[in-house]
Every structure is written in C-alpha cells, then in structure tokens.
Structure 1
Amino acid sequence: YSYLQEARDTEAKKIVDLAAKVRKTNPELEFSAAYALAAIPTRYAFERNDWASAATLTVPNLPHWSSFPFMEALIEYGHAL
C-alpha cells in the first residue's frame, strides 16, 4: 500500500504479482493472509483508478477461503465500484 501512496507503481505491481502466486499459507486458516490476498489486488486497482481491473478481480482458489466470506466481499466491492 505504501508503494501506491508514493506513486511507485512498478514496485506495487511486483507485490501484486507475488501475492497472486500464493497457493498455501501457514497456518492455512489465517485471517491476516486472507485479508492480504484480497486487499492487495483490490487496493492496487482502486489506488490507480483502474476500474476495469477492479471489475475482473477473482477470488483466490485457496483452501479455507470460504471461512472468510468478508474477504470475498472486499473483492465484490471492487466489482461494484
């Protein structure tokens, strides 16, 4: 998030790409990981006013994601904007 606040979009994109590669967290049922995996791509789109990207965000296909419906809601909020 700080990269975006500092207009360092290239560095922010690296974090977005890295987060997109996450397939497992330790522990698997971890609120902070679920929040980060939802918030990172959503904030990246929001901060850049990239509403087309926000509309196409996808819910990560990760174990236990269904345990965090509010994280899916964050992505759906991106779709709505």
Structure 2
Amino acid sequence: MAENRVVEGRMVTPVTLAELIEGDRPMDAEDITDADRECPECGGNVLEVGYMPSVTEFVTGYKCQGCEWAETDR
C-alpha cells in the first residue's frame, strides 16, 4: 500500500506528487520515498517518486516537502 506524505502543507499520494512534479497526471506511480538529499532552495527534506508520464517513459521525480522546488532525472 502506498504511503501518503505531506508536501507544502497538504497530503499527497504517489500519483498526486508525480502530478505536482510533472504538471500532468501520470499513468502510474511507485511509492514515495525519502531522497538522500536536501532541497537546494530551502534546505528542506526532498521526496522521490518514480512514475510513468507515458507508456514508453519512466521518470524519477524529486520534490521538496516545504517549498515549490522540484526536478526530474530527465
């Protein structure tokens, strides 16, 4: 069962976290994990989620729990 996490003051699922990072709802998303890094903008905790924005692509996205910073491994 996927564990929901708090990001920018609201509860997110793996799919909604991936949507925050990507800008569009992904086809599928894996469980949210803690990335082993700090946010370069605010120093906060960074979460990691793997997701499929399309049938042929798998992306790992990173999102700060406290601010708007996000990036992918593209």
TM-score (norm 1): 0.22
Higher strand content, 1 or 2: 2
**Hey, which of these two has a bigger chunk of helix by percent?**
1
- Higher relative contact order at CA 8 Å, sep ≥6: structure 1 or structure 2? 1
TM-score, normalization by structure 2: 0.23
